Amino acid sequence: MIKAIVNGKSTFAVNNDTKVTIDNQAVDWSAAQLPTGDYSVIMDGHSYQAQVLKVEKDTKTVVLQVNQQVFEVVIEEPIDQLLASMGIKDAMTRKVNDIKAPMPGLVLKVLVTPGQTIHKGDPVLILEAMKMENVFKATADAVVKEIKVAERTAVEKGEVLIVLE
């Protein structure tokens, strides 16, 4: 059984063993993708036009627009439900790692400050190694806790350059 949480409040149990049921009620439905990329959905005799606006695999979230109304749907698979029941719901989320030097080099520029909020893909530091400038980017959203190096200083492989939280 999969749980679908719609807009953070409505929770539906979806079972797809032989027939689709939502909260133990059988649902008669069909869907077809249209040439525009939208979907035509017929459910219990009613027709809907649906469009997938965004899919976030990391958070198992889908944003849909159905007949001009937007819905955010979070999917909880059986493993997610088991982890939540054990009190370790966030065990599968990615831990934000500190930024370490992958090789010896010279710190050319630090592009962030302590306390700064950074987002995935933001440049945080420039390291010169093997006569090349390497721009380090954030791998996830985080807050800069501490900067362990200064500009124009040499660093060794594996040395922590920036501590994130």
For 119-164, the pLDDT digits (tens) are 988 999 999 988 889 899 888 889 999 999 999 999 999 999 999 9
Confirm whether pTM is higher than 0.75. no
Question: Between the CA of residue 158 and those of 101, 113, 162, what are the distances in Å?
Answer: 5, 21, 12
Of the candidate ranges 8-22, 24-38, 63-77, 114-128, the one whose mean pLDDT is the lowest: 8-22
pLDDT at 95 over 70: no
If one counts the domains in the chain, the total is 2
Confidence of residue 27 (pLDDT cuts 50, 70, 90): confident
Is there a single domain that holds both residue 80 and residue 15?
yes
CB 76 within 8 A of CB 3: yes
Which segments of the chain are extended strands (E)? 2-6, 10-15, 21-22, 25-26, 29-33, 39-43, 46-56, 61-66, 69-76, 99-100, 105-110, 117-118, 123-129, 132-137, 142-147, 154-155, 160-164
pLDDT at 107 over 80: yes
Is there a single domain that holds both residue 109 and residue 146?
yes
pLDDT at 93 over 60: no
**Final residue in a domain of this structure, among 69, 92, 115:** 92
pLDDT at 17 over 70: no
Is there a single domain that holds both residue 63 and residue 12?
yes
**Final residue in a domain of this structure, among 77, 92, 107:** 92
Cα(first)–Cα(last) distance of the chain, in Å?
A: 35
Nearest Cα to Cα of residue 48 among 24, 63, 64: 64
**Residues 14-20: what's their mean pLDDT?**
71
The per-residue pLDDT for 114 is 95
Structural domain of 145: 99-164
pLDDT tens for each residue of 40-72? 999 888 999 999 999 988 788 999 999 999 999
* Mean pLDDT score across all residues of the chain: 86
**Final residue in a domain of this structure, among 92, 120, 141:** 92
Q: What is the CA radius of gyration of the chain?
A: 23
CATH of the domain at 108: 2.40.50.100
